Copies of this chain bind each other. A is one copy, B any other.
Amino acid sequence: MGTGRTVIVFGADGYLGWATALHLSQVGFTVIAADNLIRRSWDRECGTDTLIPIRSMPERVRAWREVSGNEMLWRRVDIRNPKAVNALFMEFQPDAVVHFAEQRSAPFSMVDQDHSLLTQVGNLTGTINLLYAIRDIAPDCHLVKLGTMGEYGTPNIDIEEGFIEITHNGRTDRLPYPKQAGSFYHLSKVHDSHNIHFASRVWGIRATDLNQGVVYGCTTDEIAMDRRLATRFDYDTIWGTALNRFCAQAAVNQPITVYGKGGQTRGFLDIRDTVECIRISIEHPAEPHEFRVFNQFTEQFSVQQLATLIAEARKEHGLATSIDHVANPRIEQEEHYYNAKHQALIDLGLQPHLLRSTLLDSVIATVEHWKKRVDLDLLLRPSVDWKKGRNLNWKGASHPHLTQVRSTDSLREAPLIARVGS
């Protein structure tokens, strides 16, 4: 199963990229872990930090070799640099590439104009670079791209997996599902989807677009093997997603803060299912010229339901939890129809880990263990709103990545075209 096949994981230093790299290595793939480490510098910019301490990439890879006996290769590469991407493809001729290497925070993309541009330009450039590398260097390589359920927005009809059959004025066609994304980040994924679909049609690229829901949890079978293998856990209002952030709030005896009415409904999944979905997608590759879209989540909850589930789990341990409704910093529907299909990955063999109090217990216990690392300022008050960008709660640098990214090696290598094009 998968043995002997080569996979490059771009974004391998991230929350899910690292967990995925470990899992693919464990099941027998030759894994090249690639990242530019920019997420760590964005933490410095925002004044945020992972709750669970994480090691450097060289340390992680060494620990994984000690623990598992598996050799994972680490390469510091900026996916926005075409030459660096091409060199990696030349060196490894991958059978599959997993693409997590995008700016993935909606609030970060809404901080100001620089951050909107950074998000869209960086994300689009990285994906286009992969498409060209596949076309020119490894045409049989299967692109497994992380999209988001947020691409669809909240339409008043059922959400299908990427495409919808439309009958109109007596004629019928199967067309891309209409997109109504809710931030410059989510929009960047919409743009990627259109670009990949095109490259698949025109160049014959095999592509799987995984429209992922909100991921929760902090451990997988591989991560549990050694504390040096921990993956990051974000609990702040910029990088932390709903369930993880709520658990952190509860652990430090703060009220869970629900944005607005809390009727916002989304798809959710366990981090253990994320790594399984990636494995399944690689082991059942798309055909040449095929652009397939899987909705990657296992259950739907409203934000209010999620908060209530956490409160109930804590109650079983005799812990009290309060839930506050705060002004919504985002512009979004707070009460809406939501019914999204998620059958394709089940059909390929996914066995979901549904949200149970046992899982919640383990997240709460982990957060409890590290709770002295929690910065309450980062946890409680949204520092970015959708109308005006960063507000008075913003703790980060005011002109941040301008200096931080300037110092990376990758930027010095970036070709002039990247500067011209902006």
Contacts and interface: CB of A to CB of B under 8 A. Distances in A.
A408 to B, nearest CB: 9
Contacts of A166: 157, 164, 166, 168, 178
A364 to B, nearest CB: 34
Nearest to A403: B416
Contact of A202 (B167, B169, B331): B331
Interface string A67-99: 000000000000010100000000000000000
A190 interface: yes
Nearest to A417: B114
A173 B190 CA distance: 20
Given A124-B121, A411-B419, A155 B132 contact: no
A223 interface: no
Interface stretch (A12-20, A193-201, A302-310, A318-326): A193-201
Contact of A181 (B116, B177, B198): B198
B171 A156 contact: yes
A118 B168 contact: no
B158 A202 contact: no
A419 B418 contact: yes
Contact of A117 (B119, B128, B182, B183): B128
B411 A420 contact: yes
A175 B422 CA distance: 31
Nearest to A176: B178
B114 A121 contact: no
Interface in A116-164: 116-122, 124-125, 128-129, 132, 155-158, 164
Contact of A184 (B113, B195, B197, B387): B195
